[in-house]
Structures are given as structure tokens and as C-alpha cells.
Amino acid sequence: MKTAIAERIEDKLYQNRYLVDPGRPHIKVRPHQSPSPNLLALTRVCPANCYELNESGQVEITPDGCMECGTCRVLCEASGYIEWNYPRGGFGILFKFG
Amino acid sequence: MTHKNFDAIVVGAGMSGNAAAYTMARRGLRVLQLERGEYAGSKNVQGAIMYANMLETIIPDFRNDAPLERHLVEQRFWIMDDTSHTGMHYRSDDFNELSPNRYTIIRAQFDKWFSRKVREAGGTVLCETTATELARDSSGKVIGVHTDRAGDVIQADVVVLAEGVNGLLGTRAGLRETPKPENVALAVKEMHFLPEEVIAERFGMTGDEGCVIEAAGTISRGMPGLGFLYTNRESISLGMGCLVSGLAATMEKPYDLLDGFKRHPSVRPLIAGSEVKEYAAHLIPEGGFKAIPQLFGDGWVVVGDAAQLNNAVHREGSNLAMASGRMAAEAISLINSRGKPMTKHNLSLYKAMLDKSFVMKDLRKYKDMPSLLHTNSRSFFMTYPQLISQAAKNFLRVDGTPKIEMEKATTAAFIKARSRWGLLSDAVRLAFAWR
């Protein structure tokens, strides 16, 4: 049974507390022609919806809503498509409950 | 020139890190603990159920001041299809004992408390500090850590890697592999707030009694996965986890799966009217015994989730983390008190202690379970739940059909879906993986 419109992920992330480190994204996508299957999967699998396809068909990241779970690292770091680091100490997500 | 500042450095202030730091500090070691979050717990996510016994071994009187939510008196297991659940239900007043066995907790609060205990025991805790790399000497021995703070390498005799499932230090140094997509589940979770008395009434609880629901079936859309609902004092932790490999193959969105679970007719009334105050995501080690990496080496040990110490079958993780952190700390303290160096040979004591304990015995017992659930995920998480629901419905619905025909229809449905041979082989494989 299909149900009504799913909740917007932006509304979920809005509940969370973040300390964004401006100009220092902790995850970067390496330049690529067309995305690998795993890189493409990140546009669906990332729980914070940080990854998107741009108009020219490449995967881009905006890591501001990142919950630092590491799913993208597990899927794509070994292939070199992304560069993964933790935010600087104190920055990033701050769970109130966790 | 750097000099040796500490006997031990613990990287991370989660369950295993706090257990290790506390145990070593209590035994008089000079301990430095590094935590990248603003406070201990600010980066940590768990369901969360805390098993008292493993904490009791470390802090016997923890019940005096630890932030505990509800002690659990009831457990429900649900097999779900799209409109129903078939459940097993265990509730016992025996769980209302003087020293209860399990509690729900909220990790950010619990970890803050545990970290305070580490400080009280004499440990130095440095928050907002990300350890970036292990420092090693020319022989490869770990001698300390680099951090993102200005300054030299911080040196110590031994580094305890309590950096969690997604720990970078050990993997970057080549001490263990980054987890594989088929060996980790991505869990997403929401905190639903409701008045304390509403929760008590909906779940049939009095005082600080609590209830747990674990659910499997079509909610994970054929992937290996599990939904959960845990009652806290005035909130409900509600989440859903699926293997990362399954998510990547199906391109399912984790929050869509969670929404599906929330909207299920069996779950929706339990959380009706709640206010969601946080959305969290976290990886859970699911590879079991076969995914456990090398656990010790010259100048280092690895504990908790970073060491893949999680019992997925029983959904036990934080207790294995606490136990492994404590055992690593006891091994290190013993080596230190004998004036011996923190070599690979001497630190093998930690592994020997783990092997003798429930940690390795339990994980070894279920060593074949992860691969069974991977290869048969559609049967176990889609076909069987649908068949079980149909069987229960056939059994219960009264419409003039003779019972013998109902039974025949149920049997035929099982055979049609999996074949006689398939049913037998699933049963045998499950029995072997379990024994």
C-alpha cells in the first residue's frame, strides 16, 4: 500500500543542531565525467540527502546537513570518488539526544 | 622534542572509550581521552538499550546517578507485512527487580555522565579535538596521536582506538579495513516526544517500566533490515536500519523506509500526536565474528564498534563495547603495573581476555548468520513475513470456509512461494547458523 507524500528531509534536518565550519567542507567529491554506480547511489542512500546530481550529470555534495554516519565513505572512499574527513573538533552535527 | 606525557591515550568518548578511560584512570594510570564532539555524546547515536551487568562490572553503583530512562519489563517481536503484524510478546513482573537488567537511555545524556565519571576518576578529557593520525616510530610501533589542535604529537605508551564503526585512525594507518557495505547497516532514528503518562498508558506501563518493539518484514522492502521502537521516559526512539549494500543495490532512501515504518497501521497509533525533536543516522557493524579485525599490535588496541564487536542477532552492541573497553584497560593496567612495554606480544593479553568472555563466545556462535541473511534476504524479509501474515489471517478469519480448506490454502501458499525443498533448506540453514 503506497501512502501519502513522504516528509521532507529538510524538515527533519531542521530539528538538528549543527555548527557549520564555513569554507571547510569535510567531504569532497572528486571531479568526474560520469558517476560510478556507488557514487550515484549516494544521491538516494545518504540519510541527510547531501548528494545531488547537477545539470551536467555529475554528483555534487553540500555537507552542511551531514550526520557524519560514514555511509558514503563505506560506499565510495576506496574507489577515490570522494575524500572523507571528520569536521574539525567541535564542528559538525551536535546531537542533543543521539 | 616531544616527551611521553601519558600512559595511555583513548580516542573517543563513547561506550568503549569511556569504559577504557575510566578503568585505567581508576587504576592510577595517566590517561588522556580525546573526543571530537563539543561534549562526550554529542557525536554518538544508539537506539538505545543499556545492559546493566556490563556497566555494573565497571561502576557498581551507577544506578545512584546515571541518567536512565525506563527499565524494560516487556519485549515485543513483530513480523510485519504491509497491513499487519504477527507478534511474540514477553512481559514479566520479574523484570521489576531491585537491580533491573536493562534500561533505555539517551546517549547524549548518558555519555556526558560517563565522561564525568572518567574525570572524577582522574582521567584528562579533551573535547573538541579530532585525532587526525596515529604517530608511529621507525619500527611501526604506535607512539601517540596527531590532532587538529596546534602542537606536537601527543605521546603515550599505548593508544586505545575507541573511535567507533567509522573510525579513521586505525583504517588510515592500515591496522584494519574500512567496513564493507555488506558488513554495516545504516540506521536512521527519530526522537518522538510525548507526555510521560501518554507513553505509560499506550504501552501499559506503570512508573518507569519500559517496553521495546523490534520489527522485521516488508518494512525493509526485501533488504536485510530491522525497525525498532523503544520507550524512554517522555519520548520514543523510533528507527529503522538496513544493510548499506542493500540500500545501494535498491536505491531506497533510508528516510522513506523510516516513514513507511512510522505510517504502518501497527505503529502509527503508538506515536500519534508526538513531536519529533531530532533525526539521527549511524552505522552499525553487522559483519559479526568474521569481520573482526586484528585487535592489538605494538602500542595499540582497538575496542567496541571500531573492532566490529556487535551481536546483530541479539541487538547487543554497547555492552560488548563496554566489556571490550574494560578488558583492554585491565590488560594495559596489568602490563603497566609489571613495568613491561606495550608490545604486540604483551597486549595479546587483551585478546585472550576477550576470547574467554561472552563477547567472543557469542560472536563465534552466530558467525554464519550474517551471510545467511544476506543471501536469503528476500525470503526472510519479504516472502516469509507475507506468508506468516496470510497464515494467521486464514487461522483467524471466520467466513464459512471449512478449516481443512483453510489449512490446505496456507500450506499451498508456503510451498508455492518457496517450494518444499526451499522451505526445508531455509529451515536447516537457519538452524545451523543459530546453533
Alpha helices in B36-151 (DSSP H): 52-56, 107-120
State the Cα–Cα distance between residues B280 and A68, nearest whole angstrom.
Answer: 10
Is B42 within 8 Å of B107 (Cβ atoms)?
Answer: no
Peptide bond preceding B331 in cis form (omega within 30 of 0): no
Of B292-296, B330-334, B337-341, B387-391, the one with minimum mean pLDDT is B387-391
Tell me what the mean pLDDT of segment B353-379 comes to.
90
pLDDT in tens, B32-88: 999 999 999 999 999 999 999 999 999 999 999 999 999 999 999 999 999 999 999
Percent of chain B with pLDDT over 70: 99
The answer, for A5 touching chain B at a CB cutoff of 8 Å, is no
Residue B430: pLDDT over 50: yes
B1 pLDDT tier (thresholds 50, 70, 90): very low
- A89 occurs within a structural domain: yes
CA distance to partner chain A, nearest, from residue B130 (Å) = 5
CB contact under 8 A, A95 and B108: yes
Four-point Cα dihedral B171, B146, A98, A42, nearest 10: -50
- Residue type at position A95: F
- A30 occurs within a structural domain: yes
CB contact under 8 A, A89 and B149: yes
The CATH number given to B182-285 is: 3.30.9.90
Q: What is the pLDDT of residue B4?
A: 60
Is B317 within 8 Å of B287 (Cβ atoms)?
Answer: no
Q: Chain B partners of A44 at a C-beta cutoff of 8 Å?
A: 247, 251-253
Q: Which helix (H) or strand (E) holds A73?
A: helix A71-76
Within 10 angstroms of residue B397's Cβ, the number of other Cβ atoms is 9
Tell me what the mean pLDDT of segment B183-208 comes to.
97
Q: Which of A1, A85, A98 sits opposite B46 (nearest CB)?
A: A98
Structural domain of residue A43, as residue ranges?
A: 23-94
Helix (H, G, I), strand (E, B) or coil at B301: strand
CA distance to partner chain A, nearest, from residue B63 (Å) = 20
State the Cα–Cα distance between residues B265 and B106, nearest whole angstrom.
Answer: 27
The answer, for A87 touching chain B at a CB cutoff of 8 Å, is yes
Alpha helices in B150-221 (DSSP H): 169-172, 196-203
CA distance to partner chain A, nearest, from residue B317 (Å) = 15
CB contact under 8 A, B277 and A96: yes
Q: Which helix (H) or strand (E) holds B75?
A: strand B71-80
- By C-alpha distance, which of B202, B358, B365 is closest to B288? B365
The CATH number given to B2-68+103-177+290-365 is: 3.50.50.60
Whole-model pTM?
0.94
The answer, for A19 touching chain B at a CB cutoff of 8 Å, is yes
Q: What is the pLDDT of residue A50?
A: 96
Is B376 within 8 Å of B417 (Cβ atoms)?
Answer: no
The answer, for A31 touching chain B at a CB cutoff of 8 Å, is no
Helix (H, G, I), strand (E, B) or coil at B207: coil
State the Cα–Cα distance between residues B89 and B78, nearest whole angstrom.
Answer: 9
CB contact under 8 A, A89 and B276: no
Q: Which of A44, A69, A90 sits opposite B38 (nearest CB)?
A: A90
State the Cα–Cα distance between residues B129 and B27, nearest whole angstrom.
Answer: 25
Q: What is the pLDDT of residue A3?
A: 43
Question: Parallel, antiparallel, or unpaired for β B296-297 and B300-302?
Answer: antiparallel
Helix (H, G, I), strand (E, B) or coil at A32: coil
Tell me what the mean pLDDT of segment B161-168 comes to.
97
pLDDT in tens, B258-310: 999 999 999 999 999 999 999 999 999 999 999 999 999 999 999 999 999 99
- A14 occurs within a structural domain: no
Transcribe B333-370 into DSSP letters: HHHHHTT----HHHHHHHHHHHHHSHHHHHHHHTTTHH
Q: What is the pLDDT of residue A4?
A: 47
- By C-alpha distance, which of B36, B7, B270 is closest to B169? B36
Tell me what the mean pLDDT of segment A43-69 comes to.
96
CA distance to partner chain B, nearest, from residue A92 (Å) = 8
ipTM of the complex: 0.93
CA distance to partner chain B, nearest, from residue A85 (Å) = 8
Domain count, chain A: 1
CATH number at residue A84: 3.30.70.20
Q: Chain B partners of A86 at a C-beta cutoff of 8 Å?
A: 36, 130, 168
Residue B374: pLDDT over 80: no
Q: Where exactly are the structural domains of chain B? A: 2-68+103-177+290-365, 182-285, 369-434
CB contact under 8 A, B276 and A15: yes
